[in-house]
Amino acid sequence: MTKPIPRLKSRLARLALGAAAVFALAANAAPPTPADIYGDLFIRVQEGRVFGDNKTFVDAVPTRDPQAIMADYNTAPPRDAVALKAFVLANFTVPGVNDTPLLPMRDHIKALWPQLVRQPEPAVAGSSKIPLPAPYIVPGGRFREIYYWDSYFTMLGLRADGDQKLVESMLDDFVSLIERYGHIPNGTRTYYVSRSQPPFYGLMLDLQQTDDATVKARRLAALKTEHDFWMAGARCATRGKPCERVVAMPDGTMLNRYWDGRDTPRDESYAEDRATAAEIPGRPAPQVYRDLRAAAESGWDFSSRWFADGRTLATVHTTDIVPVDLNALLYAMEIRIADQCREAGDKACSRKYRKQAIRRRVAVDTYLWVPDEKRYADWNAAAGKVTATLSAATLYPLFVGMAGQEQADDVAATTEAELLAQGGLRTTRIRSGQQWDTPNGWAPLQWIAVDGLDRYGHGALARTIADRWLHTVARTYAETGKMLEKYDVEERKPGGGGEYPLQDGFGWTNGIASALMDRYPDIDPTQDSASAE
């Protein structure tokens, strides 16, 4: 074999070294990956499976300089999974998540209604679902059936968005439920029938648009039946011994509380209720279950309003509490029965229910009004005094028109000083970790505050609450593309707490957003709010 000449050998060596250098240079110039760029943010998103498929985030496109994104992240790292996802969606275009241009929020809501409509369906043996005779709206997410008090706020939005036919349809469904069960259950599941929810049916009738005397008579009869349900305990309530949903106050006047016909763990929260009862040694489990169920009937499940220590679920004692919101709604029910009986020519009926309404208003003023604190409060029947918790329920007497002007003025001052946050109305001032406490705000309570304050001449404060709430909802919609069940009004972001993950859909949020935008057409939720703190 011929040996290579030295010069050629040297040249081949130089070429080999050059090639190695080129490959090394190429390796050194390899672009950084998302893991390199986003560090801890990347790890949290991927390990937390924020988007399910780990390829989703690595294909996302930043909407601004990555260094600026990471500077903001490092300054204030998101505290939980919900806040983390919101941060990512606010700073990245994520494929399949927020890469499609959003509709304007009002158009999005109108497009959501058909998705939340359910049609009548037959009963299925062994199923918990209660069939309804006419189409209706569900809240969305895990809430796959109609819910009582949610529906009033949904109906406000349907009316604002021009769907009166569905409003009438849902009224027919509620009449059907009252005729079958004597009341409107918490929701249309068999495990909800032992309890109701805040009684808004009378207020729903304000939204009806029918001249059919037969339909109106049937709806009025259903309203009377519902009143009978709430007052059934009057036959056996005595001072110191409430009966069912009725509490005899110290002067013998009858007011109401939340209650439930069963004293077992809730079917839908069975393990959670048993765990709560196990935390309370020495207290009979059936009483704990009844108090948990009563809190579920209140719609505020759960809140410091129902806790003896004002902080922890283990001290729940809902059945001891005479709530101001429930009694305000029953006053509204009695007034409406009286008015509708008068319109129907039944003077005796009108006098009967108006007397009951007047007695209730006097009792609320006597026991639930706290002049020194400028608020309406809940009454602890076991302790014989008002509770210390200030909550958005203080606005219900304004909402139903049972407050005096001075009382309304005082409540307005308290609301502005204590309950108004940068993103809307706080639920309470207590940070218990429960979903019906601060920092959460809820669509129904915003409407009740806005409508009640406006009724008594506090239009500027009403508008401020509406403005801040709409901006919170719009901001979160822009970041997530979703309408959510509840919001953090302290930091204007998705809400938290509760027994289940945050839900989107969402019936009453859609309804109140539409109703408020209809009421205040000059508010542009997409622009920075001039009224924010």
Distance, in Å, from the CA atom of 259 to the CA atom of 406, rounded to the nearest integer, reads 32
Mean pLDDT value across residues 242-256: 98
Q: What percentage of the chain exceeds 70 in pLDDT?
A: 94
Provide the mean pLDDT of the chain.
94
pLDDT at 14 over 60: no
Catalytic residue among 163, 485, 488, 504: 485
From 83-87, 188-192, 384-388, the region with the lowest mean pLDDT? 83-87
Q: Mean pLDDT throughout 421-430?
A: 98
Q: Per-residue confidence at 100, pLDDT binned at 50, 70, 90? A: confident
Average pLDDT over residues 397-426: 98
What pLDDT score does 9 carry?
46
Structure confidence at residue 105 as a pLDDT band (50, 70, 90)? very high
- Distance of alpha carbon 461 from its chain centroid, rounded? 21
Within 10 A of 36 (CB to CB), how many other CB atoms are there? 10
Buried b (16+ CB within 10 A) or exposed e, 83-101: bbbbbbbbbbebbebbeee
Predicted confidence (pLDDT) at residue 107 exceeds the cutoff of 70: yes
Which of these ranges, 33-42, 234-243, 385-394, 493-502, has the smallest mean pLDDT?
493-502
Q: Read off the pLDDT of residues 260-288 as tens digits, 9 standing for 90 and up.
A: 999 999 999 999 999 999 999 889 999 99
What's residue 459's pLDDT?
Answer: 98
Please tell me the predicted confidence (pLDDT) of residue 530: 60
Q: How much is the pTM?
A: 0.86
Residue 32 has pLDDT above 90, yes or no: yes
Q: Is the dihedral of CA 19, 22, 27, 31 positive or negative?
A: negative
Contact 156, 113 (CB under 8 A): no
Q: In three state form, how does the secondary structure of 41-55 look?
A: HHHHHHHCCCCCCCH
Supply the pLDDT for residue 479. Answer: 84
pLDDT at 19: 45
How would residue 28 be classed by pLDDT, with cut points 50, 70 and 90?
low
With 70 as the cut, is the pLDDT of residue 18 above it?
no
Mean pLDDT of 173-178: 98
Q: What average pLDDT does this structure show over 216-223?
A: 98
Is residue 257 within 8 Å of residue 247, measured between CB atoms? Answer: yes
pLDDT in the model for residue 29: 79
Task: Reply yes or no on whether the pLDDT at 297 is more than 60.
Answer: yes
How do residues 462-504 score in pLDDT, each as one tens digit? Answer: 999 999 999 999 999 988 889 999 999 999 999 999 888 999 9
Q: Where are the domains of the chain?
A: 35-101, 128-209, 267-319, 390-533
- Place 27 in a pLDDT band, splitting at 50, 70 and 90: low
pLDDT at 275: 97
Give percent above pLDDT 90 in the chain: 88
pLDDT at 5: 45
| pLDDT tens per residue, range 185-213 | 999 999 999 999 999 999 999 999 999 99
Indicate the SS3 state at residue 99: coil
Check residue 327 and give its pLDDT: 99
Burial readout 393-408 (b: 16 or more C-beta within 10 A, e: otherwise): bbbbbbbbebbeeebb
Give the three-state DSSP class for 208: coil
- Annotated active-site residue 485? The verdict is yes
Burial of 525 (0-12, 13-18, 19+ CB in 10 A): buried
* Mean pLDDT value across residues 415-422: 98
Using one digit for the tens of pLDDT, what is the confidence trace for 301-349? 999 999 999 999 999 999 999 999 999 999 999 999 999 999 999 999 9
Q: Which of 145, 168, 291, 301 is catalytic?
A: 301
Q: State the pLDDT at residue 533.
A: 52
What pLDDT score does 8 carry? 42
Other residues' Cβ atoms within 10 Å of the Cβ of residue 261:
13
Q: Does residue 531 register a pLDDT over 80?
A: no
Report whether pLDDT(383) > 70.
yes
Per-residue pLDDT, averaged over 114-128, amounts to 97
Dihedral of CA atoms 407, 412, 413, 419 in degrees, nearest 10, equals 130
